[in-house]
Amino acid sequence: MTLSDLLLRLRALLFRARVEEELEDEVEFHLAMARRKHVDAGHTEEEANRLARLDFGRVGAVKEDCRGVRGIQSFEAALQDIRYALRSFRRSPGFVFTVSGTIALGLGLNLALFTLFNAYVLRPISIRDPYSLYGFTWTDRQGRGHAFSWDEYRQFEKENPAFSEVAAVQYVYTRLDGHVFQGQLVTGNYFQMLGVGSELGRPLLPDDASAPGREAVIVLSYQAWQSMFGGRPDIIGTKLVVRGFPMEVVGVARKGFQDLSEVPRDFWAPLTMAGRLQGGPDLFGADRPERLEIVGRLRQGQSISSMQAILTTWSQQMTAQLPEDRKAAGILLQSKATSIPLTPELLVAFSPLVAAFGLVLVLACTNVASMMLARATARQREIGIRLSLGALRRRLIRQLLTESILLAIPAALLGFIISRVTIDTAMRVMFATIPKDMLELVHDVPRPVDWRVIAFMVFAALASALLFGLAPAFQATRANVISSVRGELTSDFRPVRVRNALVIAQITVCTLLLVACGALVRTTMAISAFDIGFQTNNVIAMEAVENNRRRVIEALASDPEVATIAAASSVPLNGTVPTITGRAENG
């Protein structure tokens, strides 16, 4: 298509009335010239007019040919279908509200599920070039991953040919003023590798982690700065006393960055502070504890397959002198582009939810298809008249599908509102019912409405329109023209069969949902009755501040209701490591 053709089409669309007037004038001009020719040849005015029309041909057909040259017939036909559908909807608003509301319920639930999936799995983290970041480790013969020692990380940093930048991280779980304070110990190049700036102050720099224990500095996340410190503008320079060791706040990370893991972090500190903030063997000591995770940025132009081959060879060479059960049998590369990487295992675990929510949408579509079929039956006389006047069957099917799509548009908008309400309600219920000791470990991840959510909403709405509109459209245009004009239903039109098929589909979907719910309830009951190997009834776990621990124990020992007292650094099935107490101190 040339530029002139495009401009002509745009002019025909934007100035349709003027273009039609010009077409009328042009047709009249050609007829006038033909009449003059026949008048000059000696014919009467009336005879010349008749001969001119015979020479020119059918005026309506010529106009249609001229309109066809513009290339906008499909657009004009679509506008006609939309106008006709809107006029018919004005006559039956109850039908429109019922259909839109039914589809909106199914769309809303599926859109809520996709919004959460998008927030955790599809939406990339707000960092520089997130899709080139990968976590790396090697695995043994049993498939277990390897945590790196400091010496292994330094060797990997120098020798690996696959990553252009490499950083090491170690997770930290602590408490500050009685609140959970989750963070990471990272190498000094961590923020530079990710391209993450700061909202206040500065990020960590390579000089902050140049030597063990050299710089006692800390960077807060934006969320922690707001929730735990009230967004204080004078937070820079404040000393946070962690495990009795003061650490100076030098910056607040940029808003929107909460780390590369599925659990948002509250702070980052130099990895060289591990000896102060972690118990057990010193990371930089002779024991060489294996605690580190490696994150790297793929070299530009490097493919995943070649990187896997290179890293497999390097891992096998690194572990060649180790015992057989510790040698590298393979490697594990995990994308760090999103909070939770998209893996086959995740899809398998997520598929039951997708199936259940999808069945709800299918059930809504079958209900609406039954209503559309009943409406098509009531309009059978109208459809028969249009067929008798020469309307093509595909043209009527397109008209009926246009009506379905127009019904799906308000359903999509209402479904979007339902999805937001569903998510907000579910989050409130979850935070209200989750145990208090676990509540501190749960963070709400932002769920922005991006292009993926909008695209899914549009796709689901169009798919729903086809599901509930296609079968009634095909069935409604099958009828015998003469019988339809009379208002009679012949053997060609069998709404009962289609309706029975829809009822069977609804019963099938409901049965599948009931089976799935029954299996879920049965599994929940089986888990609740599972013997975990120790007594849990009448057992209460509590935390006591170290300074008051003796008084708490003495008070419990003197209570006649308490039979036994025991202490542990980690409660069974708690899933956390020993905590580190801390307090805030103005510096």
| Average pLDDT along the chain | 82
Q: Residues 108, 115: contact at Cβ < 8 Å?
A: no
Token look-up 């559908």 returns 85
At 69, is the pLDDT very low, low, confident or very high (cuts 50, 70, 90)? low
Pairing of strands 330-335, 217-220: unpaired
Contacts of 207 (CB under 8 A, 6+ apart): 188, 215
Confidence of residue 235 (pLDDT cuts 50, 70, 90): very high
CA 381 vs CA 348, 445, 560: distances in Å:
50, 55, 87
What is the largest distance, in Å, between two alpha-carbon atoms of the chain? 132
* Rounded distance between C-alpha atoms, residue 104 and residue 102, angstroms: 5
Q: pLDDT: is 120 or 380 the higher one?
A: 120
What's the sign of the alpha-carbon dihedral 127, 128, 134, 135?
negative
Question: Where exactly are the structural domains of the chain?
Answer: 3-71, 130-335, 344-528
**pLDDT for residue 490:** 52
Which residue, among 312, 390, 269, has the nearest Cα to 138 in the 3D structure?
Answer: 312
Neighbours of 448 (CB within 10 A): 10
Q: How far is CA 65 from CA 58, 137, 461, 507, in A?
A: 11, 68, 36, 51
pLDDT for 411 beyond 90: yes
Instruction: Please check the confidence at residue 513 and state whether its pLDDT lies above 60.
Output: yes
Among the ranges given (35-39, 134-138, 386-390, 553-557), the one the predictor scored with the smallest mean pLDDT: 386-390
Write the pLDDT tens digit of every residue in 316-371.
Answer: 888 888 888 788 888 888 889 888 888 888 888 888 888 888 888 988 888 888 88
Strand 179-186 with 163-176, pairing: antiparallel
Would you say residue 546 has pLDDT above 70? no
201 burial level (CB within 10 Å; 0-12, 13-18, 19+): middle
Confidence at residue 481, expressed as pLDDT on a 0 to 100 scale: 53
The amino acid at residue 314 is W
Determine whether 451 is exposed, middle or buried from the number of CB atoms within 10 Å of its CB (0-12, 13-18, 19+): exposed
pLDDT above 50 for 579: no
Report the alpha-carbon distance of residue 183 to residue 175 in Å, rounded.
10
User: Where does residue 103 rank: exposed (0-12), middle (13-18), buried (19+ CB within 10 A)?
Assistant: buried
Q: How far apart are CA 393 and CA 492, in angstroms?
A: 14
Measured between alpha carbons, how far is 434 from 362 in angstroms, rounded to an integer? 32
Alpha helices in 261-343 (DSSP H): 274-277, 304-318
Continuous segment of H or E residues that includes residue 475: helix 451-476
Does the structure show a pLDDT above 80 at 189? yes
Rounded (to 5) percent helix, strand, coil in the chain:
55, 10, 30
- Which ranges of 266-391 would DSSP assign to H, the alpha helix? 274-277, 304-318, 344-378, 380-388
pLDDT of residue 166: 94
- Crossing angle of helices 344-378 and 93-117, rounded to 10°: 170
A 10 A CB-CB count for 518 gives 10
Q: What is the pLDDT of residue 477?
A: 72
φ, ψ of residue 259 to 5 degrees: the values are 110, 180
**What is the chain's length?**
587
pLDDT of 158 above 60: yes
Going by pLDDT thresholds of 50, 70 and 90, the confidence category of residue 461 is very high
